[in-house]
Amino acid sequence: MSDQLTGVFAALADPTRRAIYERLLESPIGLSATELANGASVSRQAIVKHLQVLAKAGLAAASRDGRDVRYVASSDEALEASSWLAERASAWDRRIAALQAQVRAAPRRD
């Protein structure tokens, strides 16, 4: 697993960051830290720190809009993580199918 992929999973391990990322995914024009902090259970400063972690992991990108900094979700790293998870799920499906075949082939002991 690459260091970048590890960073993605580490960033998404935190429920607050997952919630922020979900909100960014829902917004086509992005959101400022202030907008993200409205109604949140954490401060604007905490939101900014979470956004920095998401940006470092490649899950968010910042752009200046006048005095505001707007954040948008980035999907490239999330797609790589999704692909990695799909590969692991496929491997587990093959292992379970092989185990089922062994169980079915085993003689019954009644």
pLDDT at 47: 96
What pTM was computed for the model?
0.77
Q: Torsion angle of alpha carbons 65, 67, 73, 77, nearest 10°?
A: 100
pLDDT at 41: 86
pLDDT at 73: 93
Domain boundary assignment for the chain? 3-105
Q: Torsion angle of alpha carbons 61, 73, 14, 93, nearest 10°?
A: -130
From CA 40, how far away is CA 16, in angstroms rounded? Answer: 9
Name the CATH topology of 3-105. Answer: Arc Repressor Mutant, subunit A (1.10.10)
pLDDT at 44: 93
pLDDT at 84: 81
pLDDT at 78 over 90: no
Nearest in space to 57 (alpha carbons), one of 24, 31, 95, 28: 24
From CA 63, how far away is CA 23, in angstroms rounded? Answer: 17
Q: What is the largest CA-CA distance in the chain?
A: 77
- pLDDT per position as a tens digit, 12-70: 999 999 999 999 999 989 999 999 999 888 999 999 999 999 999 999 999 998 888 99
- pLDDT per position as a tens digit, 85-107: 888 898 899 999 989 988 988 88
pLDDT at 1: 61
